[in-house]
């Protein structure tokens, strides 16, 4: 998170949206959100994506991410 980004490795192939769906599922589970609250804003076909999680503020997201690194 040094540069404000998060790197996530998925095992789902980038075919027919499988990797995007796996990313949405992972983020929803991790942040305690429903899948409908997770939106890929840009980068649907790119390795780099911008994602919005409705109902999770930046500070809360950083706290949750930092608590899992310890």
DSSP 25-41: HHHHHHHT--GGGEEEE
- Is 35 a domain residue? yes
For residue 69, the model assigns a pLDDT of 57
| Look-up of token digits 């192939």 | 13
27 exposed, middle or buried (CB, 10 Å; 0-12, 13-18, 19+)? buried
- Is 12 a domain residue? no
Q: What would the pLDDT profile of 11-61 be if each residue is shown by its tens digit?
A: 998 899 999 999 999 999 989 999 999 999 999 999 899 999 999 888 888
- Is 47 a domain residue? yes
| pLDDT above 90: residue 1 | no
* Number of domains making up the chain: 1
- Is 13 a domain residue? no
Write out the residue range of the structural domain in which residue 32 sits: 18-68
- Is 7 a domain residue? no
The CATH number given to whatever domain includes residue 30 is: 3.30.1200.10
| pLDDT above 90: residue 65 | no
For residue 67, the model assigns a pLDDT of 73
């Amino acid at each position: 998170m040094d540069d404000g980004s998060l790197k996530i490795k998925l095992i789902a192939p980038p075919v027919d949206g499988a990797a995007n769906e796996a990313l949405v599922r992972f983020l929803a589970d991790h942040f305690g959100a429903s899948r409908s609250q997770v939106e890929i804003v840009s980068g649907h076909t790119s390795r780099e994506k911008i994602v919005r999680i409705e109902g999770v503020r930046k500070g809360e997201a950083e706290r949750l991410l930092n608590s899992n690194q310890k």
